[in-house]
Amino acid sequence: MAWWAERIREWERSGRRVYAYFNNDEDGNAVRDARVLRGHFRT
């Protein structure tokens, strides 16, 4: 997720509005993955 967080930061710095969504896999990890990504943006 750190790689994605950095890409999102780059896109936002260039003036883009960024949305992320997560599609559940067979283990239902979408919510966990979203929380992990969000954690990279907390200060």
Of 41, 42, 35, the residue nearest 18 (C-alpha): 41
User: Which residue bears the tokens 């979408």?
Assistant: 30
What is the domain range of residue 22? 2-39
What sign has the CA pseudo-torsion 2, 41, 23, 19?
A: negative
What's the rounded Cα separation, in Å, for the pair 8 and 37?
10
Q: Is the whole model's pTM more than 0.95, yes or no?
A: no
Average pLDDT over residues 29-34: 94
Percent of the chain surpassing pLDDT 90: 84
Q: How many domains does the chain have?
A: 1
Is the pLDDT assigned to residue 42 strictly greater than 80?
yes
pLDDT given at position 43: 64
pLDDT given at position 32: 94
6-25 residue pLDDT tens: 999 999 999 999 999 999 88
